[in-house]
Amino acid sequence: MRPLTTVTAVAVPLLRDNIDTDAIIPSREMRTTGRSGLADGLFAGWRYQGGEGRQPNPEFVLNQPRFAGAQILLAGQNFGCGSSREHAVWALAEFGFRAVLAQSFAPIFYRNCIRNGMLPAVLGGAALAQIAATVEANPVSEQISIEVASGTISLPDGRQWHFELEAAAKTMLMEGLDEIDLTLKLRSAIEAFATRDRVERPWIYLEDL
Amino acid sequence: MTPPRTLFAKIWERHRITDLPGGMTLMAIDRIFLHERTGAVALRGLQAAGRGVADPARAFCVMDHIVDTRPGRGDQTLMPGGQAFITDTRAAAQSTGITLFDVTDPDQGIVHVISPELGIVLPGATLIAPDSHTCTQGALGAFAWGIGSSEAEHALATGTLRVSQPRTMRVSFSGRLGAGVTPKDMAIALIARHGAAGGTGCAVEFAGDAVASLDMEGRMTLCNMAAEFGAMSALIAPDVTTIEYLKGRRYAPPGLLWGRAVKHWRSLVSDPGATFEIEIAMDAGAIEPMVSWGTSPEHSVGIGESIPASAGERALTYMGVHKGRALRGLPINAAFIGSCTNSRLSDLRRAAALLVGRRIAPGITALCVPGSTAVKRAAEAEGLDKVFTAAGFEWRESGCSMCFFAGGERFPAGARVISSTNRNFEGRQGPGIRTHIASPETVAASAIAGAIADPREFVR
Ligand code: SF4
């Protein structure tokens, strides 16, 4: 996984609450059993006229040239709610996003972010409104800088905000770690657990029955 | 004496392998369930990384999401590219050796319907699936939750998951449901009152007399919609109802193990005095049949009420309704009975009881999709299929069907649908489709009336 330590980039404001994963990547846009080819379907229902086809809807913020190359998304409360589809994070990442700053996140989406090198940073409503207002006025010159290690978000004029991130999540993001490899190193603890548990709850172990 | 513990804490501690630096815990995962929508990605990812499934006997997979529900179905689907999801999943399941319930398997059905039906989910077990409604299965007293595809890959490869301990919440329903009011209405009423994010990050235990008196299928409906409440999982303490339900099911503990398992399950209750981080009390007797008016399940009111003055413009515009409009009498175009929320035998029976000897209103498209092939068989044995078709409903093969839109089958553009599903998001049932979620009874009553209707007026 690509490590994420700092980002300085254009941010796009999409300050709605309850943006669900069907909105982020509609089910009909998940066309294969792979993890790629999803960027095109990102926010398809809003991004394209009539919600289908590929005629861009000029009103939608991601279609506005001034937000080209954006890597940071600003959102409201409960971002990523609904279906557990990890495709939502894959689509955002493939489109070029590296961080989402929101008032709150749906838990499955939040965990999916960490596993895929995407920063989910929680900020207060007032902070988000201020950042959005600044960015909205001038996205290209008002780029946002994020530093994962210190949990800092800054604007060019020096205003700063802080976000909290679990230490484990921070390490995962900054070092681009693969969780499965990490867990397989704990094999002896896993095996010790199973040996004990097989005696206590044998009905769980269907292969033995 | 050990301090009092919650049901959740007992399951959590039982499965804790080790605490990880940074606050997460490595948990043992007892059961993994995949479906063709999100499971193939996980299986293929695993294979691409050169890894196998740690314990194939405890991993299951079913074709439910994309699979066609029209009679005589095979691998073909109306969704462009849909067939590849089925064939890729089949190939990956077969080569990894996990148990597959394929398209024509007599046990095929929606994952959260067949897992309890087959006794795959058990009290006190941990069960994960890359599907947000996995919390449904907590109705059996399991810790069951939805995960992403990468986590599914992790669980398949290691038999474990890295989990942050959720907060605990108890929602106690006191009193008794009124006639014509159902567990679906309990769930919607809770979300309407406390918000779609009201249970965010919580393991929610449903408790109280009104929950204890529900049958297993009703408990599953209630737990199903914990996903719409933002919860990580839902749990109901196993009791006699749970144990009776599980007895003799295919994957339930056999022989002498049954008695040992039951003894263990009986200990799975929240001890008196155990504390929850959040407690919510609801009066079941005060709940009305509920119906949604907007684009989040929290946008819901009692059937006799009107759209509130606080309604947001965006939702109103999408739904084509206005503030102050009464829900009752709002004309509909289509009706859908199905989904992991409300497609079990008891749901179909209650809807059929309203439909018997009646016809749906002219011009309405109506569909009934049983939650599993076993439910379909049982319903047909009772003649329920005849009731539905005589009333003007289509009778389908089991699957998720039009609970969500995958690009193929759809209702006509702009249709207003009364639906026994769990999500009324923009576009959930297709671009521009306006979904009103409600109980199967309310769906049946509305289909007859041709407009949103109070099921209590149709009970005989
Ligand atoms: S029935 Fe609907 S909510 Fe349930 S698993 Fe299928 S798509 Fe998801």
Please report whether residue B179 resides in a domain: yes
More confident residue, B427 or B21: B427
Q: Is residue B82 within 8 Å of B45, Cβ to Cβ?
A: no
Q: Is residue A36 within 8 Å of A150, Cβ to Cβ?
A: no
Model ipTM value: 0.94
**How confident is the model at residue B459, as a pLDDT?**
86
In A29-68, the residues whose Cβ lies within 8 Å of chain B are 29-35, 45, 50-52
**Comparing B44-53, B86-95, B244-253, which segment has the lowest mean pLDDT?**
B44-53
* Residue B140, token pair as written in the block: 């059996």
Are residue B403 and residue B436 in the same domain, yes or no? yes
**How confident is the model at residue B73, as a pLDDT?**
96
Q: Is B83 on the interface with A (CB under 8 A)?
A: no
**How confident is the model at residue A24, as a pLDDT?**
97
- Cβ-based neighbour number of residue B288 at 10 Å: 17
Q: Is B51 on the interface with A (CB under 8 A)?
A: yes
pLDDT in tens, A71-84: 999 999 999 998 88
User: Mean of the pLDDT values across residues B440-451?
Assistant: 98
Q: Is B65 in the pocket of ligand 1 (CB under 6 A)?
A: yes
Cα B426 → chain centroid:
19
User: Mean of the pLDDT values across residues B167-185?
Assistant: 97
Residues of A in contact with B146 (CB under 8 A): 84, 108
**How confident is the model at residue B106, as a pLDDT?**
98
Q: Which of B35, B61, B65, B367 to mutate to test the pocket of ligand 1 (most atoms within 8 A of CB)?
A: B65
Domains of chain A (ranges, CATH numbers): 6-176 (3.20.19.10), 178-209 (no CATH)
* Torsion angle of the four alpha carbons B247, B251, B254, B257, in this order, in degrees rounded to the nearest 10: -90
Helix, strand or coil for residue A166? coil
Mutate which of B35, B128, B160 to test chain A, going by most A C-beta atoms within 10 A? B160
* Residue B317, token pair as written in the block: 């515009």
Tell me the C-alpha distance between B337 and B403, whole Å.
9
Are residue B182 and residue B315 in the same domain, yes or no? no
Are residue B89 and residue B195 in the same domain, yes or no? no
Out of B142, B164, B186, a domain closes at B164
Q: Is B409 on the interface with A (CB under 8 A)?
A: no
Tell me the C-alpha distance between B237 and B208, whole Å.
11
**CB-based burial of residue B256 (10 Å sphere; 0-12 exposed, 13-18 middle, 19+ buried)?**
exposed
Tell me the C-alpha distance between B189 and B191, whole Å.
5
**How confident is the model at residue B423, as a pLDDT?**
97
- Residue B193, pLDDT > 90, answer yes
Are residue B180 and residue B270 in the same domain, yes or no? yes
More confident residue, B250 or B41: B250
- Give pTM, 2 decimals: 0.90
Are residue B105 and residue B206 in the same domain, yes or no? no
| Residue contacts between A and B (CB atoms, under 8 Å) | 186
Per-chain mean pLDDT for chain B:
96
Please report whether residue B245 resides in a domain: no
pLDDT in tens, B202-258: 999 999 999 999 999 999 999 999 999 999 999 999 999 999 999 999 999 999 999
Q: Is residue B282 within 8 Å of B193, Cβ to Cβ?
A: yes
Chain-chain contact of A204 with B230 (C-beta, under 8 angstroms): no
Q: Is B344 in the pocket of ligand 1 (CB under 6 A)?
A: no
pLDDT in tens, A14-69: 999 999 999 999 988 988 888 889 999 999 999 999 888 899 999 999 999 999 99
**How confident is the model at residue B350, as a pLDDT?**
98
**Strand intervals (E) in B328-374:** 334-337, 365-368
Please report whether residue B427 resides in a domain: yes
Contacts of residue A72, defined as CB under 8 A and 6 or more positions apart, other chains included, come to: A7, A9, A10, A11, A12, A97, A98, A99, A100, A101, A144, A146
- Residue B352, pLDDT > 90, answer yes
Are residue B324 and residue B213 in the same domain, yes or no? no
Q: Is residue B379 within 8 Å of B370, Cβ to Cβ?
A: yes
Tell me the C-alpha distance between B260 and B17, whole Å.
23
User: Mean of the pLDDT values across residues B379-400?
Assistant: 98
Are residue B368 and residue B309 in the same domain, yes or no? yes
Out of B251, B285, B319, a domain closes at B285
Are residue B87 and residue B184 in the same domain, yes or no? no
Supply the Cα-derived Rg of chain B in whole angstroms: 21
Terminal C-alpha separation, chain B:
54
**How confident is the model at residue B272, as a pLDDT?**
97
Domain count, chain B: 3
Are residue B191 and residue B206 in the same domain, yes or no? yes
Residues of B in contact with A41 (CB under 8 A): none
The phi-psi region of residue B150 (left if phi > 0; otherwise alpha if psi is between -120 and 50; otherwise beta) is alpha
Helix segments in B39-165, DSSP class H:
39-48, 82-96, 111-117, 149-158
- The length of chain B in residues reads 460
Supply the Cα-derived Rg of chain A in whole angstroms: 20
CATH classification of the domain holding B230:
3.40.1060.10
The Cα-based distances of B364 to B84, B326, B412, B417, B426 in angstroms read: 33, 20, 11, 9, 21
B211-218: Cβ within 8 A, 24+ apart: B211/B172, B211/B173, B211/B236, B212/B239, B212/B241, B213/B176, B214/B183, B214/B241, B215/B241, B215/B346, B216/B116, B216/B139, B216/B140, B216/B241, B216/B242, B216/B245, B217/B344, B217/B345, B217/B346, B217/B347, B218/B182, B218/B183, B218/B346
Closest CA relative to residue B431, chosen from A109, A51, A206, A148 = A51
Tell me the C-alpha distance between A21 and A80, whole Å.
5
Q: Is B442 in the pocket of ligand 1 (CB under 6 A)?
A: no
Are residue B206 and residue B82 in the same domain, yes or no? no
**How confident is the model at residue B1, as a pLDDT?**
67
Percentage of chain B surpassing pLDDT 70?
Answer: 100
Contacts of residue B2, defined as CB under 8 A and 6 or more positions apart, other chains included, come to: none
pLDDT in tens, B96-110: 999 999 999 999 999
Task: For residue B83, give the chain A residue with the closest CA.
Answer: A32
Q: Is A9 on the interface with B (CB under 8 A)?
A: no
Give the torsion sign (CA, B451, B455, B457, B460).
positive
Give the torsion sign (CA, B275, B29, A112, A150).
positive
CATH classification of the domain holding B314:
3.30.499.10
Please report whether residue B252 resides in a domain: no
Q: Is A86 on the interface with B (CB under 8 A)?
A: yes
Please report whether residue B363 resides in a domain: yes
Please report whether residue B250 resides in a domain: no
- Cβ-based neighbour number of residue A120 at 10 Å: 25
User: Mean of the pLDDT values across residues B286-292?
Assistant: 98
- The length of chain A in residues reads 209
Residues of B in contact with A180 (CB under 8 A): 49, 51, 153-154, 157-158
In A89-118, the residues whose Cβ lies within 8 Å of chain B are 89, 104, 106-108, 111-112, 115-116
User: H or E stretch including B69?
Assistant: none
Tell me the C-alpha distance between A191 and A134, whole Å.
54
Please report whether residue B244 resides in a domain: no
In B271-300, the residues whose Cβ lies within 8 Å of chain A are 296
Tell me the C-alpha distance between A47 and A40, whole Å.
10
Are residue B55 and residue B94 in the same domain, yes or no? yes
Helix, strand or coil for residue B173? strand
A84 to chain B, minimum CA–CA distance in Å?
5
- Residue B112 CA to ligand 1 center (angstroms) comes to 8
Closest CA relative to residue B11, chosen from B200, B185, B137 = B137
Owning domain of residue B212: 167-237+259-285
Tell me the C-alpha distance between A66 and A93, whole Å.
20
**Strand intervals (E) in B92-179:** 99-101, 126-129, 143-146, 160-163, 167-174
Residues of B in contact with A26 (CB under 8 A): 405, 427
Please report whether residue B249 resides in a domain: no
Closest CA relative to residue B374, chosen from B109, B181, B22 = B109
Tell me the C-alpha distance between B159 and B31, whole Å.
9
Tell me the C-alpha distance between B429 and B427, whole Å.
5
Residues of A in contact with B201 (CB under 8 A): 107
User: H or E stretch including B103?
Assistant: none
Residues of A in contact with B23 (CB under 8 A): 166-168
Strand duo A152-154 + A160-162: pairing: antiparallel
Are residue B230 and residue B362 in the same domain, yes or no? no
**CB-based burial of residue A141 (10 Å sphere; 0-12 exposed, 13-18 middle, 19+ buried)?**
exposed
A39 to chain B, minimum CA–CA distance in Å?
17
